[in-house]
């Protein structure tokens, strides 16, 4: 009969010697776990930033307006109220401000947690246009900017648009010339 050898425990199972994990594999596993955790945290932060109502638009601050009122611009941007700031694009604001003819250009930036700041550059009035419908300020391109009651209060030259002799080309030339003059000279005309 053959003799059966047993391990040190006497149960018939061979003892297995456990080797420690190589340090290189341990470092690699820890690095992958750390990177995975960082990716998850960044993804959560991005989700909160983009979709959280904490960053929802509540206030619109408008700077640089004289002709058009800040309230008018704020009213135009009302559809953006409640939308998270990271979801508000330049195109969204452009679409809403495009009908405001007094705005020549504008820029926007965010003031977290919930304010949109609009910096406006308005069209500069160069003359008061007299028409049958009344008086209005016009810029160098002839764009009507605002109605006025007293032409003297504007301190700008008066252009008679009711004169049948003034063609559209002549009017465009007059307003473009007036647009090249400094405001101090315009006030003297």
Tell me the β-bridge partners of 146.
137
Q: DSSP per residue over 78-115, as a string?
A: GGGTTSBGGG--HHHHHHHHTT-TTEEEEEEEEETTTE
Listed in sequence order, the DSSP H helices in the chain are: 23-51, 70-76, 90-97, 151-154, 168-180, 183-186
Distances (CA, A) of 29 to 32, 42, 92, 146: 5, 20, 45, 69
Residue the block writes with tokens 């470092």: 27
Question: In the structure, what pLDDT confidence band is assigned to residue 8 with cuts at 50, 70 and 90?
Answer: low
Measured distance CA(22)–CA(131) in Å, rounded:
90
pTM: 0.64
Question: In the structure, what pLDDT confidence band is assigned to residue 66 with cuts at 50, 70 and 90?
Answer: confident
pLDDT tens across 17-53, in order? Answer: 887 888 888 899 999 999 999 999 999 888 877 777 7
pLDDT tens across 125-150, in order? Answer: 888 888 877 888 888 888 888 888 87
């Amino acid at each position: 009969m053959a003799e059966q050898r047993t391990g040190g425990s006497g149960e018939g199972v061979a003892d297995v010697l456990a080797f420690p994990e190589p340090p290189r594999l341990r470092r690699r596993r820890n690095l992958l776990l750390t990177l995975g955790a960082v990716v998850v945290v960044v993804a959560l932060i991005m989700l909160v930033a983009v979709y959280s109502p904490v960053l929802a638009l509540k206030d619109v601050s408008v700077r640089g307006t004289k002709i058009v009122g800040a309230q008018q611009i704020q009213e135009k941007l009302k559809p953006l109220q409640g939308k998270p700031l990271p979801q508000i694009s330049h195109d969204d604001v452009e679409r809403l401000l495009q009908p405001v003819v007094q705005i020549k250009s504008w820029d926007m930036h965010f003031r977290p947690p919930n304010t949109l700041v609009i910096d406006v550059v308005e069209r500069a009035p160069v003359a008061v246009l007299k028409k049958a419908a009344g008086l209005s300020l016009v810029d160098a391109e002839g764009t009507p900017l605002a109605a006025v009651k007293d032409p003297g209060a504007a301190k700008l030259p008066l252009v008679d648009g009711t004169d049948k002799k003034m063609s559209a080309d002549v009017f465009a030339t007059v307003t473009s010339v007036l647009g090249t003059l400094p405001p101090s000279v315009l006030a003297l005309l």
